[in-house]
Amino acid sequence: MTKDGRPSLITDIRLFAGERYNSAPYLEGQEEAVAYGRRIAWLLNSEGFSLGAFPALYVLFTPLLEPGSVKFTNEGGDWWQRYVYVGVTADFPDAPDKRGIVMRGIADAILATRPDQEGVIRRADAIVREHGDRLRFLLKRRDLAKLVVEISFNIEVSSKPSYLFIGHTDKENGAYTEADPIALGWYMEGFDLLSGIRLQDAVNLTQRPRPAMTSVVKRRG
For residues 107-131, give the mean pLDDT.
Answer: 97
> Is the pLDDT higher at 162 or at 219?
162
Q: What are the residue boundaries of the structural domains of the chain, listed by start?
A: 8-131, 135-216
Q: Rounded distance, CA 138 to CA 140, Å?
A: 6
What's the sign of the alpha-carbon dihedral 7, 3, 216, 38? negative
The tens digit of pLDDT for each residue in 180-213 reads 999 999 999 999 999 999 877 888 999 999 999 9
Q: Rounded distance, CA 161 to CA 159, Å?
A: 7
Residue 7: pLDDT band with limits 50, 70, 90: confident
Q: Rounded distance, CA 46 to CA 59, Å?
A: 21
Q: pTM for the whole thing?
A: 0.93
Q: Is 178 a residue whose pLDDT tops 90? A: yes
Which of 33, 20, 7, 39 has its CA nearest to residue 77? 20
For residues 132-141, give the mean pLDDT.
Answer: 98
Q: Is 6 a residue whose pLDDT tops 80? A: no
For residues 129-141, give the mean pLDDT.
Answer: 98
- For the chain, the average pLDDT equals 92
DSSP character string of the chain:
--TTSPPEEP-EEEEEESS-TTTPPBP-S-HHHHHHHHHHHHHHHHTT-EEES-SEEEEEEETTS-TT-EEE----SSTTEEEEEEE--TTGGG-TTHHHHHHHHHHHHHHHH-GGGHHHHHHHHHHHHHHGGG-EEEEEEEE-SSEEEEEEE----TTS-EEEEEEEEETTT--EEEPPPEEESSTTHHHHHGGG--GGG--S-EE-PPPPEEEE--S--
Q: Is 128 a residue whose pLDDT tops 80? A: yes
